[in-house]
Amino acid sequence: MIAKIEEKEKAISLRKQGLTYNEILEQIPVAKSTLSLWLREIGLARSCKQRLTEKKKLAQQKAAQACHNKRILTTKKIIEQAEKEIYRIGENDLLLIGAALYWGEGTKERNNGKNVIIGNSDPRLVKIALKWLNECCRVDKNRIDLSIYVHETAKKRIESIRKYWSDATGFSMNSIEKIIWKKNKISSRRKNNGQNYFGLLRITVKKSTNLNRKIQGWINGICKNCGVV
């Protein structure tokens, strides 16, 4: 009985020093319900309350960081495993990939005809599109025009943006002269803003109305062979 009284008094003293329940339990091995009963009427000084608040905040930040690190590791493992599921891509595979990309991102042929035009802000997609045009569509480099769509807020960085797309495509900076300025503001929620913003690159194939029609045929073939039409 005396031991319990001593434990209670020690618990109260520790609580008044600003220790958390878990910290007290490390020193006094009693049930948490017992500790709660002992301390339910014990007030804390402002400095102690601030300490507990800070400890709680740090614990939450630590937990959030641990979840963030776990999510990054899980994502990395999933991506690495998924990469292994893709084997060597042959010309026919590239043909299908390019046609599907164009289906989603390209300009479609209309009654009065339309050149092949595809644009995107992802340099990897742009590289695949150029490879597809060259290897599957047999489009020579001199038939391709490149233009940049970019927000006016990036005017001071235009030379670095042109170099970025030049490095990504293998085309000279002089061949990427056409700039289309966008007046609307960049969303602050976008990840690719500030120094990471390089606009969108548009690929136009000159005199390619018939190629556009051919691509529509490839798309139709994909649909038929997938059994969706």
Share of the chain above pLDDT 90, in %: 58
Is the predicted pLDDT of residue 118 greater than 90, yes or no? yes
Mean pLDDT calculated for residue range 134-158: 94
At 11-58, the pLDDT tens digits run 888 887 877 788 888 888 888 888 888 887 776 666 666 777 787 888
Tell me the angle at which helices 91-105 and 209-225 cross, rounded to the nearest 10 degrees. Answer: 110
What pLDDT is stored for residue 18 in this prediction? 75
3-state SS, residue 31 = coil
Residue with tokens 């008044």: 16
Mean pLDDT calculated for residue range 159-180: 93
Rounded CA separation 219/213 (Å): 10
Which amino acid is it at 163? K
Average pLDDT value for the chain: 88
Is the predicted pLDDT of residue 97 greater than 90, yes or no? yes
Mean pLDDT calculated for residue range 112-141: 93
| Domain range summary for the chain, segments of one domain joined by + | 2-80, 91-225
Which H/E stretch holds residue 160?
helix 158-169
25: left (phi over 0), alpha (psi -120 to 50) or beta: alpha
* Exposure of 45 in the CB half-sphere (CA atoms within 13 A): 10
Mean pLDDT calculated for residue range 144-159: 93
Rounded CA separation 106/126 (Å): 12
Tell whether pTM > 0.75.
no
Mean pLDDT calculated for residue range 74-95: 94
Residue of 15 and 147 predicted with greater confidence: 147
Rounded CA separation 48/56 (Å): 12
pLDDT interval class at 189 (50, 70, 90)? low
